[in-house]
Amino acid sequence: MAIIIDGKAVAQRVRESVKAQVEELKNKGISTTLAVIIVGDDGASRVYVNNKKKACAEVGIISEEYALPASTTQDELLCLIKMLNDRSDVNGILCQLPVPDHIDESAIINAISPAKDVDAFHRSNVGAIMLGDYSFLPCTPAGIMELIKQYDIDVKGKNCVIIGRSNIVGKPMAMLMLHSDATVTVCHSKTKNLKEIVKNADIVIAAVGRAKFVTADMIKEGAVVIDVGINRDENGKLCGDVDYENVMPLTSYITPVPGGVGPMTIATLMQNTVIASKLANAFFTENN
């Protein structure tokens, strides 16, 4: 019988812990602020940014939104980031991706001060994750690791297959699984024999961005299946990268969409923002 992983409940517990930490900082006279930049009018980005602001309000983090028009130049955006880097009262900065095509995404990511990079996308934070010596973890992979921990899922020595090699999910996920002693395989669009590789997995992490891409014939009986996708099916209904209905009965644990990985991403962002605040105020937090 599959256990359905309740991401909403775990995320709620993380948010409660963050709220207590924010309160503790407040009692020491330290406020916690997240600056959120959105460029252009991408509908999905607007929903994500609204959800991030709502989560901030819930846990007592101050959020500042910088909504810029699609015509914003790269220099204007870099100028804003510099101003936010220089402000000591801003602890975390994130620029919602994607940015318009005329802006170099990598230049933006790497302009954010690594100490305020709560997405953990900056090249120096990515390098720190490689080495297992980090302050911030990228929100979705860290959220998945927290779900695995909360459900006592054994990772050591297990075959973990990650489908998708994005900088945001696939690559850092592989590192975190490796740090947890899993044997990791990363599959992508050029992978040969995908079905056979996935069929051998004890843990499958699907981050492809294609509705119901992972089907029942690819899954080993008793596998753990983590679904990172948020897509619409042919009827416009929200669905993941996994054909949930048919895959679920084969699994030992599975994350639903919605209510699985999604809520954890934002909860981790809140946690990262508090970590940034604590690091910036280390003197006060350690000596008071």
Residues that bind ligand GUN (CB under 6 A): 94-97, 119, 139, 168
52 is catalytic: yes
**Looking at beta carbons only, is 119 or 202 nearer to ligand GUN?**
119
Q: How far is the CB of 106 from ligand GUN (least distance, A)?
A: 13
From the list 52, 158, 171, 212, the catalytic residue is: 52
Q: Closest Cα partner for 67 from 103, 37, 34?
A: 37
Label residue 276 left, alpha or beta by phi (over 0 means left) and psi (-120 to 50 means alpha).
alpha
Q: Helix or strand or coil: residue 62?
A: strand
Question: To 5 degrees, how large is the angle CA 66–CA 13–CA 3?
Answer: 115
* Least gap, CB of 259 to ligand GUN (angstroms): 18
Helices (H), 87-193: 105-109, 123-131, 139-150, 170-179
User: Catalytic pick from 119, 202, 227, 241?
Assistant: 119
User: Running DSSP on this structure, what letter comes out for residue 151?
Assistant: T
Q: Which is nearer to ligand GUN, 126 or 168 (CB)?
A: 168
Of all residues in the shown chain, the one whose CB is closest to ligand GUN is 97
271 is a catalytic site residue? no
CA angle 210, 95, 28 (to 5 degrees): 120
Around 174, how many Cα atoms within 13 Å sit in the side-chain half-sphere? 18
Taking the least distance from each CB to ligand GUN, the nearer of 140 and 277 is: 140
The question of whether 149 is a catalytic residue gets the answer no
Nearer to ligand GUN, 94 or 280 (CB): 94
Question: Tokens in use for 173?
Answer: 């996920």
Structure tokens at 153: 């899922």
CB count within 10 Å of CB 79 equals 13
Minimum distance of ligand GUN from residue 1's CB (angstroms): 33
The nearest distance, CB 91 to ligand GUN, in angstroms, is: 16
The residue annotated as part of the active site, out of 21, 96, 227, 243, is 96
CB of 284: closest distance to ligand GUN in angstroms? 28
CB of 209 to ligand GUN, least distance (A): 11
Are residues 207 and 255 in contact, defined by beta-carbon separation less than 8 angstroms? no
Q: How far does the chain reach from its first CA to its final CA, in angstroms?
A: 50
Q: Which is nearer to ligand GUN, 76 or 105 (CB)?
A: 105
**φ/ψ bin of 169: left (φ > 0), alpha (ψ from -120 to 50), beta (otherwise):** alpha
Nearer to ligand GUN, 36 or 219 (CB): 36
Structure tokens at 53: 């602001």
Write out the catalytic residue numbers: 52, 96, 119
